[in-house]
Chain A
Amino acid sequence: MSADKVSRDNVGAAAQTSAAAAAAPARGPITQAQISAEIASFPAAHAAPAGAAGHPPRDYPPYRSSVLRHPKNPLVVVKDPEAVELTGPVFGAADVAALDADLTRQHPGEPIGERITVTGRVLDRDGRPVRGQLVEIWQANAAGRYVHRREQHPAPLDPNFTGAGRALTDGEGLYRFTTIKPGPYPWGNHLNAWRPAHIHFSLFGTAFTQRLVTQMYFPGDPLFRHDPIFQSVTDPAARERLIAVYDHDLSVFEWSLGYRFDIVLDGPAATWREEGR
């Protein structure tokens, strides 16, 4: 395996060997057709254990890196009302500066690309806003290149774009970022694998149990059906919840296009317990 392949979200040699042996009799490079066939044949019953609420299964062989990185023993259910995890970390004004939410103003010049606004509300499953909490994002630049030394595919870095931002939600649970639309990028899962354009999101709720890291996608991306990470969410309705909505009212003439991405955090919190849930 070339160093270049190792560099791009690729599995180690052991994982690739074991996954290929388990999933396909064919030898040689893993093709898109093979991955697509695995995606199509992934057993639905396996995909949605009770209570999973649309989350991807951790054991999803079309995403080769998952093969050796998921537990085989069942998770142990904790229902302890005294669990520390029913509370969680807090953040404040010292942690986030106002300009941290504008990824286009972190360098002396303007980044190349399509300027966008991404905004939405962070809610718990009861629809209550998650207030004053930390939202972190990171993404590739307009050419599909991350500012990371292990990402070396031949697309240009942008000296005016790093691609990392932070915000605190307001009293309504609302966050708002200004950034540029990221490009799709190649990775090493299989031959000619490309990730659909996405922005990574990291979210905190009022409880550590509500922690979420996810990826926001853009509507109509032709790469959706080819991508094992997006398709790891096997419920089509749940996949839709990963796709931002283009909102023309958020677009600003001669300036930016607007996308709305609302986020609902899973998991119990202390407040639920207090209310007898």
Chain B
Amino acid sequence: MSAEPGGLLDPTPSQTVGPFFGYSMPFPGGGEVAPAGHPATVTVHGYVFDGAGLPIPDALLEFWQAAPDGSRAGAPGSLRTDPSNGRLLGRDGVGFTGFGRVATDGDGHWALRTLPPPPDAPYLSVCVFARGLLHHLYTRAYLAPSPDDPLLASLPPERRATLLATRQDDGAAGTEGTEGLRGGVYRFDVTLQGGAAEETVFLDFR
């Protein structure tokens, strides 16, 4: 294994997820991150588009977020395998693992049902994989943006807007009498390529 002069190991390069991950990576209930029937469940959904404005039917999105109480510890149990036959079962509907994985449909659409992230980290971290994408891309879907958020504050308005999930319902779907974000349906599209106002802001972590 090789190392740079600074002592860090050289990373293994990325390669595309390709078109044939469908029988391996998606798992049942991958988009059902919220515990079954939880009243605070929010739906976040959208399309993934390419540079011609066409929906991408073979993208895979992963989601990671803080729990509503602020915990970033996550929990095992997203996939769950039946030890008797090896079949993937998906979550047990009780706990909150913080992790979701959804492949786009034939029309490029995806949907996630999850619990709202906490006010100090009010976003879903999104990792985008697709055939044609040689190295995955990170972005964030902000559900309740704060003007103090350092990333949002650093962006010009037209770029910032690409990170904001848009609430589509009038609030009636939410649970009454709770503070902040409860319930609701949000739209968040990912555009892999386009002008500054269209292309999603993608992130590089250093």
List A residues at the B interface (Cβ < 8 Å). 8-9, 11-12, 14-15, 18, 51, 53-58, 60, 63, 65-73, 75-80, 82-100, 106, 123-127, 134, 136-138, 140, 146-148, 150-151, 162-164, 166, 200, 202, 208-209, 211-215, 229-230, 232-233, 237-239, 241-242, 262-268
Residues of A near B125 (CB, < 8 A) are: 84-85, 208
Residues of B near A98 (CB, < 8 A) are: 83
Q: Is the interface of A mostly helix, strand, loop or mixed?
A: loop
User: B residues 85-134 with Cβ under 8 Å of A?
Assistant: 86, 97-99, 117, 120-121, 123, 125, 127, 129-134
Q: Is B172 an interface residue (CB 8 A)?
A: no
Contact A58 B19 (CB under 8 A): no
Are A214 and B15 also in contact (CB < 8 A) when A75-B202, A84-B72, A100-B81 are?
yes
Q: Is B170 an interface residue (CB 8 A)?
A: no
Instruction: Assign chain B's interface to a size class.
Output: 35 or more
Counting chain A CB atoms within 10 Å of each CB, the highest count among B12, B80, B200 belongs to B12
Additional 10 contacts, C-beta under 8 A, given A85-B64, A85-B203: A14-B54, A55-B14, A68-B52, A69-B192, A87-B72, A89-B74, A90-B97, A147-B23, A148-B19, A265-B11
Bound state CA distance, A55 and B15, in angstroms?
A: 8
Counting chain A CB atoms within 10 Å of each CB, the highest count among B23, B123, B155 belongs to B23
Q: Which of B2-10, B38-46, B180-188 lies on the face that meets chain A?
A: B2-10
For A18, the closest partner residue in chain B by CB is B52
Contact B22 A211 (CB under 8 A): no
List B residues at the A interface (Cβ < 8 Å). 1-2, 8-25, 50-52, 54, 56, 62, 64-66, 72-83, 86, 97-99, 117, 120-121, 123, 125, 127, 129-138, 150-151, 154-155, 159, 192-194, 196, 199-206
26 A-B Cβ contacts within 8 A?
A: A15-B50, A51-B206, A58-B134, A58-B135, A67-B132, A68-B51, A69-B56, A76-B159, A78-B205, A79-B205, A80-B150, A86-B205, A88-B74, A89-B98, A89-B99, A90-B73, A99-B83, A138-B21, A138-B24, A146-B20, A146-B23, A200-B15, A200-B17, A202-B17, A208-B125, A214-B15
